[in-house]
Structure 1
């Protein structure tokens, strides 16, 4: 399908998109989001996946309801992470002429296809304008299984789990053209010791890129492989790069007991040189952790600043994958940092808990609140339906720009869902109201799309119209 038009059309020259903000403070002061976009996937791969539009305007009669499904043209994509063609940092990118947050780019984690959806003229009903074939990604960048994307200085950065040949490593980052979304090339020019890939982010003010590690496709696509996990074979390192050249600078090994270093959340302050990384599990005690990376002299270092222990459980209450351990691991599968760099949210997808930390001092996070929903054994209900046990648990976390609203979805990855929640995952989205001054959070009883509203699709990542905490980086303080 041809790319019908570029993101600059229909806007007067020199008029920038009002949803692009020079500073985090400007983003926080902007009007609240009225729509959320959610990636939904069909676990059976018999029906198309979809981008789902949800009403987030409390004054609307359809608040908390699904408004639209934009179906993908094929089946078997497994939509997972996705993102905008442009974010606030585009205001300082010379390669952007009049940037505009308009297109949503949705990678298929299993299909290796990339779908481009236009949110104009009707934001409720985005329309497909282009599909980048898996063959193009393989031929031009040498990668497959696209995972995470961000609008970057030289193009759209698209992290990929595997190489093109057979889907095995090394994974890495493909660069896409900002306007046509054609695949340009691999970003890396000197890979160094990097092999595994997962997330990619940066410190724009110091020209530093950061990547994390999960595993190659064969290690993750059919679920956790216990032999690999206990053998400490999954990723356990952070990598630092020269952002403009793609040259590898440094590898920090967190220790091979810390398996699967996933989400990266750098400070939104463009001059800061620190950020948080979530680690799924420690194979020695099943705890999960969050690590702080920061510059120390000429190089970066990292230290563990949060540890969450496993919770004891009876073997008969556990899924087969966990029965030998007699405990539920927290399984930290997502983290998110508020735009003001004050609050860190940590999802424990195993135990069913979302934790809020005050990270005013990032070296010493303080736990300020937690909410329980779902969980492998707890199945804690939503307060709006106290008699309905929830499957799944807080997984992907999204925070509004002003830090007052937190959105949660409950599916991790199809094959992993099946291992930890073998009786199935009924989809849900939950909204929490947070206090960005004093801390604390409560569940919004009015906002609870779930079950049949999603037409059998499971839900993964959420992004908010106008930007949010995890999709924007900024140029100025």
Structure 2
């Protein structure tokens, strides 16, 4: 009868999820920057009572090379408790892992031993292309009726024939079902996506097509404002585009979207990597009012002057380091927004109790293109704060340091050995790096996305209000 009970890691509301037990394991995507070895999925012990705390417990290597693992996710999460679902008795058991460069996807089973995930299925790129016309799978979200996967490429070898979009996978067989969109509207680029399930809308963002990122940043395209700079809003149930907001072509690369977790709150945030007029990064708040969506720039992070001798070739002519906001993440209580400044080596914590007026509440420095801030334990840190994941209770923030292999090589030509670290957060705001948590993944690996056992702040979507 246990299979007829909802998974205990599914929670109706964000507040109830915050009260759940602490995470014990973290799953981290590792990539081989030079593609000399297969990428891997690492399991890290994050249980502070364990004798192996902060250690890599296992590493599952993939059977192929060159996949470039990216934003993987669970087969099922708290969205399964939606009153519209037909799958309330799924388990948060399988990790859906996309290889962005090869358009291949992997399914890992975390049972019976969560410390030893097993590869149980490989989805070849031909299946994705033939059923959807898409390529370069990027972000995975578990929805009430299936697994949603965003893509960055369309058809053709270079992924530039036709626009990218979202496709759906069966959450039990993992079969690719087809395109999600019924009416795409003007959307031509893609990156991240997320939703408010009870309010029945989805929001998506824009990066670029594969020729603009796979071999590295194309400086001419950036200076020509040819990367993405728009938000798209969708009717979730009808699967149709309803509105576009252009943030302005100088606001290049609108990436991570983070809706409020409480479904009664109809707002969210998006991070913009760089403003081509002054190299600053920015945070925008979007919201819905009277049936229409709006967006406003609510926080900026300035570029930092730097000696040209310390800069890679791409930046020498600017004499400054752009923050390069590459990830943002929102705590489950919707209070703190974490902003990863991969270029300047800073993780910022904003109090967003008023989403229209983010207030800087904390900051840590680690890595960075010019300053190369060291870790409190005395060890170096290549790259800068990148993929960020928050514990359900909001007291721990984990982050890694690799963005994308070819971009890593452009901005950090000395290399970025894969490392995972953690900040401890004070209840009222403020944070500091934990000197005792420093996970090294070994020579030849970069580290990207982190997922926490039992769910985390960029995995779950909730269907009921917090009270």
TM-score, normalized by length of structure 1? Answer: 0.95
Q: Equivalents in 1 of 2:351, 2:447: separation in Å?
A: 28
CA deviations over 1:47-85 (Å, ceiling 9, x no partner): 111110000011111111111001111111110110000
Contact 1:41 1:459 in 2 (8 A): yes
Contact 2:347 2:385 in 1 (8 A): yes
Q: Which residue of 2 aligns with 1:116?
A: 107
Q: Equivalents in 2 of 1:253, 1:343: separation in Å?
A: 26
Q: Quick one: which of 235, 244, 256 aligns to 1:263? A: 256
Q: Which residue of 2 aligns with 1:136?
A: 127
Q: Quick one: which of 368, 372, 375 aligns to 1:379? A: 372
Shift of 1:12: 2.2
Mapping for residues 403-414 of structure 1, pairs under 5 Å: 403-414=394-405
- Secondary structure of the 1:375 match is coil
Q: Quick one: which of 44, 68, 71 aligns to 2:58? A: 68
Q: Equivalents in 1 of 2:167, 2:5: separation in Å?
A: 30
Contact 2:164 2:190 in 1 (8 A): yes
Contact 2:6 2:88 in 1 (8 A): no
Q: Equivalents in 1 of 2:78, 2:206: separation in Å?
A: 26
Q: Quick one: which of 30, 43, 50 aligns to 1:40? A: 30
Matched, 1:472 2:460: yes
Mapping for residues 278-427 of structure 1, pairs under 5 Å: 278-385=271-378, 388-427=379-418
Q: Equivalents in 1 of 2:88, 2:404: separation in Å?
A: 37
Contact 1:91 1:99 in 2 (8 A): no
Q: 1:132–1:317: structure 2 CA closer, same or farther, 3 Å change rule?
A: same
Q: Equivalents in 1 of 2:442, 2:337: separation in Å?
A: 29
- Secondary structure of the 1:472 match is coil
Q: Equivalents in 2 of 1:21, 1:125: separation in Å?
A: 25
Q: Equivalents in 2 of 1:63, 1:392: separation in Å?
A: 24
CA RMSD of aligned residues (A): 1.0
Q: Which residue of 1 aligns with 2:177?
A: 184
Q: Equivalents in 2 of 1:359, 1:273: separation in Å?
A: 14
Shift of 1:13: 4.0
Q: Which residue of 2 aligns with 1:3?
A: none
Shift of 1:95: 2.4
Q: Equivalents in 2 of 1:61, 1:379: separation in Å?
A: 31
Contact 1:212 1:237 in 2 (8 A): yes
Q: Which residue of 2 aligns with 1:458?
A: 446
Q: 1:184–1:107: structure 2 CA closer, same or farther, 3 Å change rule?
A: same
- Secondary structure of the 1:394 match is coil
Q: Which residue of 2 aligns with 1:7?
A: none
- Secondary structure of the 2:198 match is helix
TM-score, normalized by length of structure 2? Answer: 0.97
- Secondary structure of the 1:104 match is strand
CA deviations over 1:273-331 (Å, ceiling 9, x no partner): 11000000000000000100001222101000110000001111100000011100000
Q: Which residue of 2 aligns with 1:15?
A: 5
Q: Equivalents in 1 of 2:27, 2:17: separation in Å?
A: 19
Shift of 1:97: 4.3
Q: Which residue of 2 aligns with 1:90?
A: 80
